[in-house]
Amino acid sequence: MLQSMRQNTKTVLWIVIAAFVGLIFAVWGADLRGTSGSQPGYVIGEVNGRSLTVDDFERAFNEETAAYRGSAEEDLPLLPSVARLLRERAWQRLVHTAIVEGALKKASIPISDEEIVYTIRSNPPEFLRMNEAFLTNGRFDYQKYREAIDDPTVDWRWLEQYVREQLPLGHLRQRVAINARVTEGELRDLYVQNNETVDFSFVAFLPSEYEDAAVSASPAEMNAYYEAHREEFRVPDRATLGYVALPVLPSDEDRAYLRSRMEEMLQRLSEGTPFEDLARYHSEGPTAKQGGAIGSFRRGDLTPDLDELAFSLPAGGTSGVIEGPRSFQIVQVVERTGSGAAESVGLRQILMNVEAGGETVESVRLAAEDLRTRAASGGLRGAAEATGIVYRETSPFEEGVVVPGLGAFRGANLFAFAGRIGEIGEPIFHDETYYVLEVVSRDTSHVEPFEAVSTSLRERVLREKRLALARADAERFRAEAERSDLPSLARKVGREIRRADLVSRAGSVPTIGRDSRLILAAFAAPGGSTFGPVDTDFGAFYLVREKVTPIDEERYVAEKAYFIRSLLAERQEYLFAQWLQSEREKAKIKDMRPALSEMEEG
């Protein structure tokens, strides 16, 4: 088979798959055998006697940089603080790669051609399983894959090489994670937890219904609750940013330039160029590919000014340049139909957006750079106030989340946790705005002091008491529940009957939330009769289980292989990570980067 796989390639498939292979290798930093330390350059470290060179390090750093920039929509400059973080990640990657290389060399795992063939045919890499070319209804189709593998016109040598290089690593992972197991019982339990469902009706006694009850929270009670639940008041690392936003707005010159372009369109139209051709090649509207056709409109469908203009033109007539705050357009009436209230016009348009030109963008960038320079001596707030620019600060936020006031701004979040306190970063362009950022403060994870959470403590103690009232109220009707149906009980207690359908053990109850105790009680309750009270952290409940829908056995069998592979991979990853950490603790690691930096500075 290997010989039949070594035929001429289909170029397109090669390019698509090679991109996936590049991604896979990036996970490990590079082809493991390509970082043997034999490259020329300074030695910047050692791991168990294996040299790590500047070339190794720069390659790993470039990969970390590409990963940092690759998923971001904004143009992220490599701030000094971010560069420090990425260089540290690159170093850690090199150390881990060297440890794995050493283990592979020591293990000396032989790989035969037969094993390569078997792996390619029976256990294709995950990136091939996810390739659209091999999917049917969103799932991997072995038949499609086998047909491609057996196609003699496709060159699969790259896959052979990839598998030959990855199999030793796979064997090493299997040896390390040899105790990883997924039993039939575990698999079925997990599947049942997520796919078996229950339908039930219930009556709820909720703490919120007792807001007017005469309950209080004494200092002693609040302190007792605080001591018993200290970890609930732990806050993660949080940072605060100061920032100045300099929006990049089109200038008068930018609008004048766009006006000249639109007038050029009018000139070309007067010379006989078809409107649809100009729209197709120059319009920035959503229907440019359709020659700018935007549909038919009756009177009142358009904005008042455009409505008046469109209905004043004859069929085939063209407007002048219509200027708006964000775009300029030229419209042409393709046809007119009907009359009176039923009259309509078919329109085409050439639309161009008003955008800031290069000079405008550069002027704002230079203003941001100037502000940063001024801020170096007196802080960002002072520099902003001195130049009449608004300075703002975020509220504290956690790493990796939306930045208050700035939104999903990855560069700002990363800078907040990588920069030094007081550091002012280089301007970052994001969402048509240049931002100058300053790390104002950063707090490490800690348990909030009693005084800082006293308001929250009071509310929690009061809720606990209201929850106790709800449970006590529900308990008073236990006897009534035992001898009556749920509608009768609901009328007796003056509460509505609520419904929950198709709720899995891992699901959520409508109007209540993810109340696992209530859900488990619904599964366990005898069918058809009133059951309760069920006390949970959400309240107290009486319920009637109506139906349990078991899992679809055929679907379970069809999906079992996927779930086994997924669960086993998770456990193997965990065990491999544990092994890697253990090997790192035992490894002899020399970090010579500081000495090299001193030599370069000297």
pLDDT tens figures, 170-209: 788 778 777 777 788 888 898 999 999 999 999 999 999 9
Can you list the alpha helix ranges (DSSP code H) found in 133-218?
142-149, 157-176, 184-195
- CA count, 13 A, side-chain hemisphere, 557: 2
Dist CA 146 CA 395 (whole Å): 56
User: Apex CA 161: angle with CA 155 and CA 165, to 5°?
Assistant: 160
Contacts 24+ apart (CB under 8 A), 107-116: 107/168, 107/171, 107/172, 107/175, 109/167, 109/168, 109/171, 109/172, 111/164, 111/167, 111/168, 113/2, 115/167, 116/2, 116/160, 116/163, 116/164, 116/167
What b/e sequence results for 357-373 when a residue is b if at least 16 CB atoms lie within 10 Å of its CB, and e otherwise?
A: beebbeebeebbeebbe
Dist CA 15 CA 10 (whole Å): 9
- Residue 349's pLDDT is what? 94
Which residues lie closer than 8 Å to 85 by C-beta, 6 or more apart? 414, 418
Contact of 428 with 74, CB cutoff 8 Å: yes
User: Could you tell me which residues are beta bridge partners of residue 350?
Assistant: 330
Tokens 């996927």 — which residue? 562
pLDDT digits (tens, 9 = 90+) for 398-439: 988 899 999 988 888 888 988 889 999 888 888 889 999 999
| Helical axes 11-28 vs 54-70, angle rounded to 10° | 110
- Residue 597's pLDDT is what? 55
Dist CA 352 CA 112 (whole Å): 61
Tokens 């065990």 — which residue? 575
Closest CA to 229 of 460, 452, 445: 460
Q: Which residues of the chain have pLDDT under 70?
A: 1-41, 69-79, 81, 595-602
| Amino acid, single-letter form, for residue 386 | A
Closest CA to 448 of 460, 437, 438: 460
Tokens 């086998």 — which residue? 146
Which residues lie closer than 8 Å to 371 by C-beta, 6 or more apart? 244, 246, 380, 383, 384, 387, 389, 436
- Residue 222's pLDDT is what? 94
User: Apex CA 171: angle with CA 165 and CA 174, to 5°?
Assistant: 145
- Residue 457's pLDDT is what? 94
Question: Per the structure block, which two tokens stand in for 173?
Answer: 């992972």
- For the beta sheet containing 530-536, the strands, ordered from the edge strand earlier in sequence to the opposite edge, are 498-504, 197-205, 539-549, 530-536
Contact of 380 with 368, CB cutoff 8 Å: no
| Helical axes 410-418 vs 80-107, angle rounded to 10° | 80
User: Could you tell me which residues are beta bridge partners of residue 335?
Assistant: 346
Within 10 A of 244 (CB to CB), how many other CB atoms are there? Answer: 25
Strand-pair category, 344-353 with 293-298: antiparallel
